Structure 1
């Protein structure tokens, strides 16, 4: 695809970095709209986006470095900082962002579930835009295929294998995240209980990621386990458990003696 948008020889504008920034901006903008709709100050979202975005970036990079090619980065430690080359993991970003979010919410005296519901639609929308970065950079590429819609990378600066028709998993993921965004947005507008949009996000994202890992050409594996699939199962289980624990109490019959 197009890992480099502008190449002046001495300076390059990498498509990955550009669209990661666009994804953060779009996600924050949408969540700010949600905050305004729910009666909260949109400035809270932008305050968190700058702090939580940085925490998510660090988490995404560390997750990728530790699970993808630790030996490569151990031999080239400065390359860890070169995030514009690609190599950010969503699960790591979620963990980093969650830790930052808990700290931010407690410090500002906010409701966790209410603020999470505000963030959820913007988060999945940002992930949707972020898949453009992965597509242009050849990041998280798919398995080889003979399907007519396969994509082939030819630019040696891409992260995907060159000259091999591959599943366009980045496009699959973009479309799946777009569907998840519509679901989360709908739940956010109709739900009467805090936490519904957040749990819808967790279930929708977890199921999507679990399924698409079967088509991924470079899944991170540890001890024979595909790590993103294991995390996705835990995420969905935790979300369903939280939903069960938070469901409205049912009326119990009163037995009189």
Structure 2
């Protein structure tokens, strides 16, 4: 019975040479929803409505390139002998940490050029980033990637998962942990927390730092479950190492900025 399970088709549309993959559509949907959310908040914060549209015109292509470059660099043993595969991002193989590096640098340069506070820009973007990541993980689901180790169907049923998720976790004759789902749920919880922190009215930069710390904590543990991790050595996972570095950096920057609290504006300006 189990051997008759068919995975969901990763192709949404295939018309001759035109192929549209679910992976790309889902990633794009997450990005568009995040852009809409950030645009609404930027207007509320007194920025021009087109601010984030201008940001993403640079950030999205740079993030895609840096995400792919990050992945390719740490899988160079494979791509050095299959160079034609490097451009096939629709088959998966983009690293979120690479995308974050590219986006961070782009946003910093953009903010300096426009005379906008980088921290304010980052705070506005933080909920959109984690929401986009939560949605984007379902692209991994369609590609049957970013999963954990082998488990039984009973294990998955005991998680009370919908049948379509359980069936999609049946890969090459075995069931696997839905690590993509764990991270998606973790990110959705983080999204709700970040929206709540807007009401707390923290200092500028602290919503973004909360995002960095929250996401990295979850990613550290979930990365340990995955079977497709990028490895620095046989036992050291790059994602976990990067997550630890981000947690330490986030906490350190927060404490340093808080030590100069009076000089830092709040996320929402207080009415005089």
TM-score normalised by structure 1 residue count: 0.89
Aligned partners of 2:23 and 2:90 also within 8 Å: yes
Give 3-state SS (helix, strand or coil) of 1:222's partner.
Answer: coil
Confirm whether residue 232 of structure 1 aligns to residue 247 of structure 2. no
> 221, 232, 248: which one pairs with 1:211?
221
Match for residue 254 of structure 1?
none
Aligned partners of 1:63 and 1:89 also within 8 Å: yes
Q: Deviations over 1:181-213 (max 9, x none)?
A: 111111123224101110110110000100101
Aligned partners of 1:199 and 1:239 also within 8 Å: yes
Aligned partners of 2:126 and 2:194 also within 8 Å: yes
Tell me, in whole angstroms, the C-alpha distance in 1 between the residues paired with 2:202 and 2:232: 41
Residues paired across the two proteins, number: 245
Bigger CA drift: 74-83 or 31-40? 74-83
CA drift at 1:249:
5.2
For residues 95-114 of structure 1, what are the structure 2 equivalents within 5 Å? 95-114=101-120
Listed as ranges, the gaps of 5+ residues in structure 1 are 155-159, 252-257
Relative distance call for 1:204 and 1:250 in structure 2 (3 A) is: closer
Tell me, in whole angstroms, the C-alpha distance in 2 between the residues paired with 1:102 and 1:196: 16
Listed as ranges, the gaps of 5+ residues in structure 2 are 1-7, 158-164, 263-272
Bigger CA drift: 226-235 or 184-193? 184-193
Confirm whether residue 20 of structure 1 aligns to residue 27 of structure 2. yes
Q: Deviations over 1:213-255 (max 9, x none)?
A: 121111111123110001000101001001111115589xxxx
Tell me, in whole angstroms, the C-alpha distance in 2 between the residues paired with 1:98 and 1:235: 13
Tell me, in whole angstroms, the C-alpha distance in 2 between the residues paired with 1:122 and 1:241: 24
Confirm whether residue 151 of structure 1 aligns to residue 161 of structure 2. no
Tell me, in whole angstroms, the C-alpha distance in 2 between the residues paired with 1:244 and 1:208: 21
Aligned partners of 1:87 and 1:139 also within 8 Å: no
Tell me, in whole angstroms, the C-alpha distance in 2 between the residues paired with 1:60 and 1:11: 24
Give 3-state SS (helix, strand or coil) of 2:13's partner.
Answer: strand
Give 3-state SS (helix, strand or coil) of 2:27's partner.
Answer: helix
CA drift at 1:76:
2.4
For residues 53-202 of structure 1, what are the structure 2 equivalents within 5 Å? 53-67=60-74, 69-146=75-152, 147-149=155-157, 151-153=166-168, 161-202=171-212
Q: RMSD of the alignment, in Å? A: 2.0
Tell me, in whole angstroms, the C-alpha distance in 2 between the residues paired with 1:194 and 1:231: 24
Tell me, in whole angstroms, the C-alpha distance in 1 between the residues paired with 2:117 and 2:54: 16
Tell me, in whole angstroms, the C-alpha distance in 2 between the residues paired with 1:72 and 1:151: 30
> 19, 27, 43: which one pairs with 1:36?
43
TM-score normalised by structure 2 residue count: 0.84
